[in-house]
Chain A
Amino acid sequence: MIRPATREMDEPKTDAGFEPRITAFVCNWCTYTGADLAGTSRLHMASNVRIIRLPCTGRIDPMFIMKAFERGADGVIVSGCHPADCHYTSGNYHARRRFTVFHELAGFLGIHPDRVTFSWVSASEGAKWRDVVDETVARVRALGPFSAYRDLVGRPNMSGESYATLAGLFGDDAGAASPAGAASPGGPVATAEDAAGADVAQRAAAAPAAARAAPAAYPAAVSPGPGAPASGGPGHAAGAASPAADGSES
């Protein structure tokens, strides 16, 4: 049973009316107090941020950030005490290592780095908190809603065509693509599009490869028919017939 992400407000229909929703995970001792100072100082800042107060940045599991996106956030702020200022001596040092890994992995998976802001804001830096908030809201506003994440719920399973595309990306099954890939190791490679393009041309030839990559457990997802939406599209035509889509509606 897949539930849609809960939203307190209706999603604006147009980009012009888009107001980013930002979740901020802040530590109790520095940034929360700093944000409080910003408020008592009557500093003007964007009102898009919902603050979640935690004892320390060391308490912030990277899963919090993923969960925030899952539940409808368009951007996330993670903020705590400056290095060497941690109330618990070393919580922010440990957190910094985890955030480093998360930051790199999220980028590798294709989550735009501007969606997550990491910052150190001390209890006296109300003005810096205002800047962090305003800049984050501006960046996320420019990126638009993170519908790519939320739309994953309604997405159909892999289709046969998508399997073929995946197989061709690294020239696994297309002999012609591998020399190009091997000739440019480490360098900026244009093979992403090249390989995909070559793969489209070779799709007929790659059909056995797709069949091998797609285990027999996925017959229903394969071949929704010619003219079916590509992998990027919502693909309701394909999804409507699948049991998963039925389950999500009930």
Chain B
Amino acid sequence: MTRARGILLGIWEFVVGDDWRAAIGVVLALGLTAIAAAANVSAWWIMPLAVLAILALSLRRAARGASRRG
């Protein structure tokens, strides 16, 4: 592994952690908010609801993982 690759992997692990799907969900939710705001639609409610769903799904995946290990 090159040093640059190691540094990039370290940054990824530091910021994104062990659930990359949650990070993708955040980016998609921000994109959706930007599209709604650009279309002059009230967009403030999108992020709270999206984050609630992202967190619930992430926890569900973790609980299922623990269930398989147990």
A pairs with B: no
User: Interface of B with A (CB < 8 Å)?
Assistant: none
User: Interface of A with B (CB < 8 Å)?
Assistant: none
